[in-house]
Structure formats: structure tokens, C-alpha cells
Amino acid sequence: MEDQIFFGDVSARNLAREVKLEEDEEDFRSCCEDEEEWKDTEESVKEGAKDLKEELDEFSVKMFFKGMSIAEAGDSASGLSGIGVVMERSANAPTIQVQKKLDFYVDESVADYLALMDGLIEAMQNNIRRVFAFTDSEILYDQISHAEEDGNPLLMALKQRILEFSSNLESFVLNLIPSNDLERPLQLAQVAIGIVSLPSKGDGSLENCSICCEDKPSPMMITMKCSHKFCSHCMKTYVDGKVQSSQVPIRCPQLRCKYFISTTECRSFLPVTCFESLERALAEANVLNSEKIYCPFPNCSVLLDPRECLSARASSSSQSDNSCVECPVCQRFICVDCGVPWHSSMSCEEYQSLPLEERDAGDITLHRLAQNKRWRRCQQCRRMIELTQGCYHMTCW
């Protein structure tokens, strides 16, 4: 009997241990099941997106949208907000993009709602009837898809507007996806507000822009390959001005810097419309054409075609040399062969025989004066000498 009780106690302890192990195993299995369930959900979303791609036609789009806001340092009530929307269409149709800097600062959750609204408006303007939208905002997804109520009256009002817009479509489906799948609309929103790099949490560092001389947040600063650094707003204004006057390719705005800004660098801070204008300007200028030159005057520097300048000067007889053209912008004469301001007092061969340090306008004037006064140059010290009396023998002083 005692043996039975002993074994009974042992068996009870073993039973308890087995139950505990089973519970742990069930917990582990449930965690795994949850993880597998999440993975299955992710896979199903990806599969659905893949299927949608095949089903897209000229009247349907996949809309990826994202809003972004960055608060000013020390003031959480003010800052910059922007939105980005990318709409993928059928294989033969171009992608539709919406990029906008908002006139006011809003929370990022509100910016997501505004991005969806602008995307729906743009879709309807392009005669889109079916929209498959994708967001990473759980609040927006729950309110639109599950009709959940939120205490924020602004979000409720925006929700009603979104539902009104979507009711004009044949079909509107909103999907929740990971943030990593919204890189393109996020990039559009960043560029819209001048953000070049994603700011890290708590990073309130400021850097000085050498153009506007103001302290700007570090994420808004651009470092060129020539190592010069400027804020995105100043660079956008600078590049826009150069594009409007067809002065492309565009040099770094730093004084005496000869680096040409690449299109990749421009894409990082130029909005879509501005970048397209830059591409058109580059295509029109055809900078690969070796016959095109820049006006050598620093306050002009426009890109010009000498052949057009020659035809425009054909009726003028003020300059007869074929290597002399007139800049159509600053109306000053240029030597095409030498690529410098026109040297009327000497031929191209004489000019090119001058030392490099004696080719500016002041030196050319000196050479013209020396020629008129019959001055001679000492072959040793290179100084100009005037013969006032005596023989022609020169001794370096």
C-alpha cells in the first residue's frame, strides 16, 4: 500500500510536470500559429496585390499614398506637411503621381487622410472607375473599412469626404500594408516639404545654409559631390531659375565652384514637375553637342549655339571675323575659337600664345596699349619697357 502511495505521489508529480509541459507547448504552438497567421496574411496581401496587377485596365489603378509631417524644433504646433500619391495603371498606361506641400501643418495621421482625398480627386479627373488603395495607417484603415468611430471630429469629417468621393467610383477597396511598401509616395511627400533624408527621432540639429544664411534642420540640407552644402529650398529656387533661363547644365551655386550638379542630385530635392522641366531643358540644350559653349562673362554664363549666334549676326558688320559671335542674352562679343570675351586687338594665334595668367581683359588692354606705344617686354623679368632715349639695347633692371 505504501508502495502504491509512493508511486501515486510520483505519478502525480509526473502528471503535473506533463500538464505543465503540455501548457508550455500549447502556448508555444499558439505563438507560432499567430506568427504563421500574420505571415499568411502578409502573403495573401502580396498575392492579392499581384493578382490586382494582372487585373488592372485603363479604368482601374492601384493607389499607394502617404502623408508626412515634420514639426519645427521646439514648437510641436508648427512645421511642414506634405503628401505623396502613386497610382499604378495597366502596363501601357503611364503612372499617375500627386505631390503637394500643404499650406498648413497637420499631424501625420491627418496628412494620410488628405493624401487619400487628393488621390481620389486625381483618379476621378483621369476617368478612373476602380481604385485599389493601400495604406499603412491603421486608424484610417479601421475607420474606412470597418466603419469604426473616432473621437477626433476632424478625422470624422475627412472620413465623410473620402466616403463621398469613393461613392462616385464603381469600386473602392482599401488595404492595410507594411510601411516598407510605401517608399515611393513617402519619397514624394518628403521632397514636397524639402526633406532630403529621413529625420531620426529626437534629432533637432540645425545647420547653416550658405545661400539664405539661415539655420535649417539637418534633414533639409543637401551635400553636393563637391562637398558644398545648401538647404533644399534654396537649391530648388536656384535650379528653377537656371531652368527658366535655359542655363543648363547647372553649376554648383558656390562661388568659383566648377562642379555641375547631376540629375540624380536634382531628383533628391526637386518636385516631380520641376524635375521634368529640368529634363526637358537638358534635352533641348543637347549639352552633348560639342559646338555649344557657355558665355564666358561670369554674370551671364548662358549656354548658346555659335551657329545660331552667327546667323543672327549675319546682317551686322560691326565684327567681320567668323570666330566672333554676339551673346543673345548679354549682347557682348565672344570668341568662339578661344571661348573667351572677344579680343579685337589681336588674332586668336596671338591670344593663345599669351601666358594663361595674362589673358584677362586688363592684360589684353595692357597689350593693346603696349602695341600702340611701341613698348617692348623684357625677356627675363617680363616687364614692359618704354624707350624714351638712348639705343635699343635693354638691360634687365
pLDDT tens profile 302-328: 877 777 776 555 444 445 567 788 888
pLDDT tens profile 107-135: 999 999 999 999 999 999 999 999 999 99
Q: Can you list the pairs that 33-36 forms with residues at least 24 positions away whose Cβ atoms lie under 8 Å? A: none
What's the pLDDT at 256?
Answer: 86
Of 30-34, 67-71, 340-344, which gets the smallest average pLDDT? 30-34
What's the pLDDT at 76?
Answer: 66
Query: Rounded distance, CA 241 to CA 260, Å?
Result: 15
pLDDT tens profile 83-92: 999 999 887 8
Query: Rounded distance, CA 188 to CA 192, Å?
Result: 6
Mean pLDDT to the nearest integer, 19-34: 48
- 162 Cβ partners below 8 Å, 6+ apart? 113, 116, 117, 120, 144
The three cell numbers locating residue 45: 496581401
The three cell numbers locating residue 113: 487622410
pLDDT tens profile 224-237: 899 999 999 999 99
331 φ/ψ angles, rounded to the nearest 5 degrees: 60, 35
Q: What is the DSSP string of 132-156?
A: EEEE--HHHHHHHHS----S-HHHH
What's the pLDDT at 74?
Answer: 65
Stated as kind and residue range, the H or E segment containing 68 is strand 60-72
What's the pLDDT at 390?
Answer: 77
What's the pLDDT at 163?
Answer: 92
- 218 Cβ partners below 8 Å, 6+ apart? 197, 199, 203, 205, 206, 207
What residue type is assigned to position 19 of the chain? V
Mean pLDDT to the nearest integer, 22-45: 47
What's the pLDDT at 37?
Answer: 44
User: Across all residues in the chain, what is the average pLDDT?
Assistant: 79
Better-scored residue on pLDDT, 264 or 76: 264
pLDDT tens profile 196-221: 887 666 667 888 999 999 988 888 99
What's the pLDDT at 61?
Answer: 93
Neighbours of 279 (CB within 10 A): 15
pLDDT of 13 above 70: no
Better-scored residue on pLDDT, 299 or 35: 299
pLDDT of 244 above 80: yes
What's the pLDDT at 200?
Answer: 67
What's the pLDDT at 388?
Answer: 78
Phi/psi-derived region of residue 150, left when phi > 0, alpha when psi is between -120 and 50, beta in every other case: beta
